[in-house]
Amino acid sequence: MLDYERPILSDLAAFTRGHPSVIQALVGPRQVGKTTLARQLQASLEMPSVYASADSPIPPGPEWIETQWRLAEIKSAAERGPVLLVLDEIQKVRGWSETVKRLWDSRTANRSRLRLLILGSSSLLLQAGLSESMSGRFFLHRCPHWSFPESRAAFRRSLDEWIYYGCYPGAAQFAGNDERWRQYVADSLIETVLARDVLQLQRVAKPALLRHLFLLAAAYPAHILSYNKMLGQLQDAGNTTTLSHYLTLLESAFLVSGLEAFSRGKVRQRGSSPKLVLWSNALVSALGGPSFDEARADPAWWGRLVENAVGAHLLNGLPPSSCSVSYWRRDDEEVDFVVERGTAIWAVEVKSGRPRKASGLRAFRARYPRCRALLVGAEGIPLTTFFETHPAALLGR
C-alpha cells in the first residue's frame, strides 16, 4: 500500500466521525487510489470496519449488499460500537441504490451504528443512483486524478514529467522504462476502464466505435474537432448524436470531455464542435505520439500537452454542480477555456509557447465586459504556480 496520504483522507475521516447520519460517496477515476484511501481510512479510525468490493467480471446482485450489511451489523453488535462499512465499485451491483436506501432507512429507524462509505469509478451511474433514490441521504466526495503537488510529493515528479506522464500511482514503478509504462497504462488502466466501467455497465451498440473515438481524442488533445470531421476519420461512425453520447460515456469514466462552445444566456447547441480534453495527460502519452524528450523539443506538441493539462486541472478541481468549463471561438478569435461560476465568468488563456494566432481575449472581453481574465504561462501566472494552486483558489471563492 502506498504510504503517501492524499489530502482528501483527512476530509473523509473528519466526515466519518462528525456526520454519522449521512452516507459518504467517493467517486473518481480508476487507479487513482480510492481503494487505498478507503483502507487508509479504516486504519485511521478508532472503530472496526468491513470492506467489500463488487469489482468482479460478473456483477453481483443486491443480495451481495445485504450480506455485507449484515456482516457489519454483526460486528457492530459484537463490538458494541459503531462500524464502518465500505462498499467498493458499488455501481456494478444491480439495483444498488434501492437496496442501500431501504437498508439505510431501516438503520435510522433501528438506531444502528453503521457508518457507510460507497466508492465508484463511474460518475454517471453512481450519481444517477444517488439522485434517483437517496436524495438528502448522502454527501459526495470527489477523488480526482493526481495533481502536480501530490505527484511531486509522492513520486518526486518534476512539472515537465507530470505534464507528460500524468500520475497513476500503479504506473510509477515503470518510471524510466517508457515502453513498459505505455503498455501498463494502455492495458491495465485504459482497457480496464473501457471494458469494465463503460462497456460492461452501459448499453453501447458500437463498442469498436467508442474505442476508436477515445483513440482519436488521445491523438487530438485540446483540439476543437467538429463532429463532421470525426465522422470522416472514424469507421462505422453512425451520426453526431451517437458520437455525442459516446463522449458523455467517456466523460463519466473520467477519460475524455468534449467541452461545449460558450454562449452566455443561450441554450448551447448539442451539435457544436467539442473541444477534446483528456482528464490526464497519461492517457495521451501512453497511446503513441512522441517520447518525452521528443515532446519536450516540439513546441507545438508540448503546447498541446500544456493546454490539455490546464483544462484537465480545471475539470479535476472544479465541481460540475457549481461550475462549468467550456471554450469560446468566433471566426479566428479563440479563448482556450471559459469557466462559469454562478454569475462570474473567467476567461482562461494558455501561453505555452506554441505557434498560434493572436489572443481572442480582447474580442471576448468586448462581448462580455464583466468577465475576468487569467493568463497561464508566459506573460501570466507561471505554470508551476498554476498547477500548484487549486482551481477554486485561482478563480476566487
pLDDT digits (tens, 9 = 90+) for 22-67: 999 999 998 899 999 999 999 999 899 999 999 887 889 999 999 9
| CA pair distance 163, 295, nearest whole angstrom | 11
Q: 3 CB contacts (<8 Å, ≥6 apart)?
A: none
Count of the separate structural domains present in the chain? 2
Helix (H) or strand (E) holding 2: none
| CA pair distance 357, 126, nearest whole angstrom | 42
- What pLDDT is recorded for position 6? 94
User: Cell numbers at residue 214, please?
Assistant: 477515445
Domain limits at 184? 148-394
Q: What is the DSSP letter of 190?
A: I
Predicted TM-score of the model (pTM): 0.90
Q: Are residues 87 and 193 in the same domain?
A: no
Torsion of CA 185, 312, 140, 269, to 10 degrees: -120
The answer to whether residue 1 is domain-embedded is: no
- What pLDDT is recorded for position 94? 86
**Of 85, 115, 142, which closes a domain?**
142
Which amino acid is present at 339?
A: V
Strand partners, 213: none
The answer to whether residue 153 is domain-embedded is: yes
| Positions of the chain with pLDDT lower than 50, given as ranges | 1, 267-269
- Residue 203: strand, helix, or coil: coil
E strands in 263-362: 275-278, 323-330, 333-341, 344-351
- What pLDDT is recorded for position 193? 87
Residue 47: other Cβ atoms inside 10 A: 16
C-alpha angle 51-316-97 in degrees, rounded to nearest 5: 40
The answer to whether residue 241 is domain-embedded is: yes
Q: Are residues 91 and 172 in the same domain?
A: no
Q: Do 155 and 167 form a contact (C-beta atoms < 8 A)?
A: yes
